[in-house]
């Protein structure tokens, strides 16, 4: 029953689907993204914080293996 409700929400052209599409289009709007980024950058500079790089390592991931070799060069 829950699976069917989720499937109906995703597939059918209901009011909920139109609302979901509107939300997704707003969320993926490049102008909104730029304004969020600029306000976050302004907040970071006002708080006098440096840029941060968050790194998550996964042992069996080849890209993590490549990234760990160059992580010291980021400093």
Q: How confident is the model at residue 53 (pLDDT cuts 50, 70, 90)?
A: confident
Domain count, the chain: 1
Q: How confident is the model at residue 19 (pLDDT cuts 50, 70, 90)?
A: confident
Helix, strand, coil shares of the chain, percent, nearest 5, are: 70, 0, 30
DSSP state of 29: -
| Residue 16 vs residues 5, 9, 11, 13, 23: alpha-carbon distances, Å | 11, 7, 10, 8, 10
Name, in order, each residue with C-beta under 8 angstroms of 8's C-beta and a sequence gap of 6 or more. Answer: 14
Could you tell me the residue range of the domain that residue 12 belongs to?
2-74
């Amino acid at each position: 029953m829950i699976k069917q409700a989720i499937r109906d929400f995703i597939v059918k052209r209901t009011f909920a689907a139109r609302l979901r599409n509107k939300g997704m289009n707003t969320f993926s709007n490049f102008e909104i993204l730029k304004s969020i980024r600029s306000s976050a950058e302004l907040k970071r500079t006002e708080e006098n914080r440096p840029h941060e790089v968050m790194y998550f390592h996964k042992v069996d991931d080849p890209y993590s293996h490549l990234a760990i070799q160059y992580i010291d060069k980021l400093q």
